[in-house]
A = this chain, B = another copy of it.
Amino acid sequence: MAFPPFAVTVDLVVLTVRGDDLCALLVRRGEEPFLGRDALPGGFVRPDEDLAAAATRELAEETGLDVGHLEQLASYGAPDRDPRQRVVTVAHLALVPDQPAPTAGTDAADARWVPVAQARELAFDHDRVLADGVERARAKLEYTALATAFCGPEFTVAQLRRVYEVVWGRALDPRNFHRKVTGTPGLLDPTGETTTRDGGRPAQLYRRGPAEQLHPPLLRADT
């Protein structure tokens, strides 16, 4: 059977919360096309490899990161998106805890975190892919327990709230947020430990619980 040959790649929108910014992992391209421009990390899918496996492998290669969460985002296959040949890319979204710096991996020694608000003029159609990934992350925080993927294995309610505030760019009431998340059964698993902090009352430490969905959802509407 004759069929048109395509190259298939995976690209990764890797997001984290650093300080006051939602950041994406970008690599500087070392070859044409788009030489010198920033791009999302990614690479070819191997002949015997599933799409999810390819995404996991690329993420491990580009960064030594703990992966909080990895899911398929969408596929992009405009005929002219790569000037060399016909390429369809299956983009994936990864949410990871804040790491000191992405450890230099094999593919991309110069991978670095860039606030998504400043990530512009990326190679290929990666502006669009990044925007879709950010929008997906914002939407999913509303009704899933995904925000915990941005935190380390143990975290306080205030750290979790910080994630929501940074991703949504909106202040939340600490009191109501606390009641909401501690009142959702299965969301948070108290460790019994507390943190020593710089100048306030110590906070309870939690691990993420078994709940995946948030019911009822947290809303980001202005109202």
A contact set with B: CB distance below 8 Å: 1, 3-8, 44-51, 72, 74-79, 84-86, 88, 90, 215, 221
Contact = CB atoms under 8 A, between A and B. Distances in A.
B50 A78 contact: yes
Contacts of A84: 1
A35 to B, nearest CB: 15
A74 B77 contact: no
Give the 3 A-B CB pairs with smallest separation, nearest first.
A5-B5, A51-B77, A4-B47
A94 to B, nearest CB: 16
Nearest to A4: B47
Nearest to A221: B215
B86 A88 contact: no
A79 B6 contact: no
A78 B50 CA distance: 5
B75 A4 contact: no
B4 A77 contact: no
A77 B54 CA distance: 10
Contacts of A45: 4, 6, 77, 88
A157 B20 CA distance: 46
A51 B1 contact: no
Contacts of A72: 74-75
A79 B7 contact: no
A160 to B, nearest CB: 23
A10 B215 CA distance: 34
A5 B79 CA distance: 16
Contacts of A90: 75, 77, 88
A85 B74 CA distance: 23
Contacts of A49: 79
Contacts of A78: 50-51
A49 to B, nearest CB: 7
A4 B79 contact: no
A132 to B, nearest CB: 11
6 contacts: A6-B7, A6-B8, A45-B77, A47-B86, A48-B79, A72-B75
Contacts of A75: 51, 72, 75, 90
